[in-house]
Amino acid sequence: MGKNLTMLQAITEALDQMLGHDDRVMILGEDIGVNGGVFRSTEGLYEKYGKDRVVDTPLAESGIIGSAIGLALNGMLPIVEIQFLAFIYPGFEQLVSHAARMRYRTRGQFGVPLVIRTPYGAGIRGPELHSESVETFFAHTPGLKVVAPSNPYDAKGLLISALEDPDPVIFLEPTKLYRAFKEEVPDEMYRIPIGQAKVVQEGSDLTIFAWGAMLREALNAAKKIEAEKGWQCEVVDLRTLYPLDRDTIVQSIKKTGRALIVHEAHKTAGLGAEIISIINDEALIYLKAPIKRVTGFDVPVPPFTIEDHYLPTVDRVKQGIVETISF
């Protein structure tokens, strides 16, 4: 049994089920209680579970993440919502200096089972600093795990896995996809394993690696190219950004021999570089062409009047496919 849900509804359902399933689960954040969250992802939960479990916190990201670390140390299972990814910076020190390192420093004696959920990415016509895509900061931090779903089904399954993970997980929710489409989501509490990518579409001529909102652009470009040129692209949704699923990446390259990486994060030191490096290490001899990246530019995400020009578009992705295949 299942229901047709948006990604937001799937996330709300996961949160609801986890709160109902385990008394140790708490949700903390700004405006997440009475207001139900600025995107309404916690709608109805405050009324259902009360102020001690769905907590409207003071406006203080370091305080939220830091106290959630303490809650996790002392047996609770906190899920933190940071209103927008770029608002996480005041809490960054808590994440990298403490959440990520507590298990290491105490040689496994104390862990921090903590989930940080946050909307990220452009394409929603947001004000300044509401559209960043800085997953690299977290993927560069040993001790953290970074997850980014691209559809309602994965969002629910990955969020439940994130909460059950004994280590801190940064859960990046592509804002643009919150209400973009619906799909069938099972009623039960199912899990999608963290650390596993998914081949969303099989193909033989080139592999497109993408995640989050960019997966839609990748699929659309692949469809158009097939119609126009008859080329068949394989599309891989990475789903977990740290640690990456190397095996799926390498297997796909062995099959197609060509790769295109699409991400909306800035190009320099973006995860695309890491994926290229993995392919160089593991599958260089299978390559028929240099690996290309279609990414956001190395500029601050610009105002929404021109953000579409910052983001990879279907046309830019198509161009990347053409250049790679006709190399």
Among 107, 227, 230, 299, binds another protein (CB under 8 A): 107
Q: Has 130 been annotated as catalytic?
A: yes
277 counts as binding another protein under rule CB under 8 A: no
How far is residue 129 CA from its own chain's centroid? 18
50 counts as binding another protein under rule CB under 8 A: no
Among 42, 67, 161, 324, binds another protein (CB under 8 A): 67
70 counts as binding another protein under rule CB under 8 A: yes
Question: Alpha carbon of 292 to those of 287, 309, 323: distances in Å?
Answer: 12, 19, 8
Quote the CA–CA distance of 22 and 221 in Å, as a whole number. Answer: 43
Closest contact distance (angstroms) between CB of 57 and another protein is: 7
Closer of 29 and 174 to another protein (Cβ): 29
Closest contact distance (angstroms) between CB of 17 and another protein is: 21
Q: Are 23 and 51 in contact (CB under 8 A)?
A: no
Tell me which residues in 130-169 interact with another protein (CB under 8 A). 142-143, 145, 165-167
Closer of 175 and 251 to another protein (Cβ): 251
Among 50, 243, 290, 303, binds another protein (CB under 8 A): 243
Contact partners, residue 140, CB within 8 Å, separation at least 6: none
Closest contact distance (angstroms) between CB of 145 and another protein is: 8
> Which residue in 231, 197, 199, 237 sits closest to 217, CA to CA?
237
104 counts as binding another protein under rule CB under 8 A: yes
Q: CA quadruple 27, 30, 34, 38: dihedral positive or negative?
A: negative
Indicate the SS3 state at residue 29.
strand
Question: Alpha carbon of 147 to those of 150, 154, 158, 281: distances in Å?
Answer: 10, 10, 8, 24
**Residues carrying an active site annotation:** 130
Residues that bind another protein (CB under 8 A): 26, 52, 57-58, 60, 62-63, 65-76, 90, 93-94, 97-98, 102-111, 142-143, 145, 165-167, 195, 243, 246
